[in-house]
Amino acid sequence: MTTVDAPQEQVVPNTAEEILAAVQELIPELRARSAEIEQNRQIPGDVVALIRNAGVFRMGFAKEFGGPDLTSMEQTRVLEALAYADTAVGWCGMVGIDSGLYSAYLSESTVREMFPSPDMVISGLISPAGRAERVPGGYRLSGRWNLGSGITHADWISAGALTYTDGVQDVSAAGKANWRVMLVRPSEVELIDTWHTTGLAGTGSMDYRIDDVFVPEDHTFSFGTARSRSGPMAGPDTLMRKMPGVPLGAARAALDYVRDMARTRVNRMSGEPWSEDYRVQFTLGECEMDYIAVRHAVYGTVEHRWNRMAAGATFEDFTTDERVSTTLVALKAFRTALSIVRRLYDLLQTTSIYRTSPMDRWLRDLNTMCQHVMAQDVIVQTAGAHLIGGQPRFPFALGIAEH
């Protein structure tokens, strides 16, 4: 009698070491797919499956929900490896793991209902670009949002909104507009293909519209109230802590690419090996110096914050210097990565300008990445204002959730 073996269920890595190793194994394949990813302007379904099966999307979920409960430092390291392979994939991985981070603000029963698997992906904008009218049991949500990175493969879509009751905007006792994040299903969202861009083309970060969709109260949250989690992963700044992994990974990829080239390249005019060229030596040394400094700053500030919160500290316990450190260093990581790639791009001269050169893609991707609000001057202003008792323009970047 012939027997047929039952298909083996995919075992998804569920520790920091296992997930990092699985991602590192994917690097050659993801690099081989980079041109395709960029041309298609979104992550192909089979590549999404590779990332999902490597355990990337579950990184933000707590153990009680089946996740690995990774620290912010461990998440950042995995995202570095993903971006080292392909920047767009790294960016989508960075956004996609927010499903687990958002779960801290939902009730335990809601997390189990909405996320039966920790490998589910989220996408969308949390800024309050929509309008949510209170109705019995929840809200009627309408609006248009942009920059839905990874939205073509998302299981849930987030949409920030200001709330209204009987047509009147809700405000707090302090006079602040009430801001909530709504989570809706992809079937309730209209995608608008606006994503024709300089860089990060493969992220599919298109606009989306929601028209009078009912959102149950349990599928909404405020960053000011953690409901199913406490400790280091229960602060709104957790969304920003892991972001530097993407620019760091791209910068490391560019540095390794040029270092490998410089070992064997010879100047065609002079016959001098690049390994003996002062300009090459100085540029690589300077870029490595900047990379090492900013990478240590990223992990040092995040680990300091993590250890303080793990010991029971809250945001109110941090000094003003501690409050701004991770945010300023994250911004510096974005700008330093772009500076490194720009200098390496110049070093390679006309070799860099062709679409077939990965340097071309790294430069375009980092230029686009640095247009994100977390790499803008408003973050520096926010930190500076916080240090001297002024009015921060974007307090959320510091982990301050205003309502």
145 has which bridge partners? 208
Q: Which residues pair with 141 in a beta bridge?
A: 132, 213
Give residue for tokens 């316990």. 317
Are 324 and 385 contained in the same domain? yes
* Dihedrals phi, psi of 10, to nearest 5 degrees: -65, 125
Same domain, 304 and 260: yes
Structure tokens, 402: 């205003």
Q: Are residues 132 and 189 in the same domain?
A: yes
How remote is the C-alpha of 19 from its chain's centroid? 17
248 lies in the same domain as 370:
yes
Residue 276 in domain: yes
Same domain, 295 and 253: yes
Domain of 147: which CATH number? Answer: 2.40.110.10
Q: Pairing relation of β-strands 168-169 and 190-192? A: unpaired
What's the pLDDT score for residue 1?
Answer: 40
pLDDT digits (tens, 9 = 90+) for 320-365: 999 999 999 999 999 999 999 999 999 999 999 998 899 999 999 9
Question: Which parts of the chain have pLDDT scores under 70?
Answer: 1-9, 402-403
Burial profile 87-107: b = 16 or more Cβ within 10 angstroms, e = fewer: bbbbbbbbbbbbbbbbbbbbe
Same domain, 171 and 208: yes
Please report the pLDDT score of residue 9 as a whole number: 62
pLDDT at 212: 98
Q: Are residues 358 and 308 in the same domain?
A: yes
Alpha carbon distance 244, 371 (integer Å):
14
| Residues 55, 215: Cα–Cα separation, whole Å | 29
Query: CATH code at 88?
Result: 1.10.540.10
Closest CA to 238 of 398, 16, 402: 398
Phi, psi of 284 (to 5 degrees): -65, -40
Is position 3 within any domain? Answer: no
| Same domain as 145, residue 44 | no
Nearest CA to 56 among 109, 27, 94? 94
Instruction: Report the distance separating Cα 201 and Cα 35, nearest Å.
Output: 10
Q: Count the domains in the chain.
A: 3
Mapped onto helix, strand or coil, the DSSP state of residue 73 is helix
CATH of residue 375's domain is 1.20.140.10
Around Cβ 194, how many Cβ atoms within 10 Å? Answer: 13
Q: Which residues, other chains included, contact 321 with Cβ-Cβ below 8 Å and sequence gap of 6+?
A: 387
First-to-last alpha carbon distance for the chain, in angstroms, is: 68
Element (H, E) at 277: none
State how far the Cα of 341 lies from the Cα of 254, in Å rounded to an integer: 6
Instruction: Tell me if 94 is assigned to some domain.
Output: yes
Q: Which among 165, 141, 170, 151 has a CA at the least distance from the CA of 208? A: 151
The pLDDT tens digits of the residues spanning 2-30 come to 444 544 567 999 999 999 999 999 999 99
Statement to judge: residues 47 and 178 lie in one domain: no
DSSP 118: T
Last residue of a domain, one of 160, 187, 221: 221
The boundaries of the domain holding residue 392 are 244-398
On whether residue 343 sits in a domain, the answer given is yes
Is 332 found in the same domain as 205? no
Pairing of strands 190-192, 122-135: unpaired
User: Domain for residue 363, yes or no?
Assistant: yes
- Exposed (0-12), middle (13-18) or buried (19+): which is 119, by Cβ within 10 Å? buried
- Structural contact between residues 2 and 109, judged by C-beta atoms closer than 8 angstroms: no
Does residue 6 belong to any structural domain of this protein?
A: no
Whole-number Å distance between alpha carbons of 89 and 52: 12
Strands 168-169 and 156-165: antiparallel
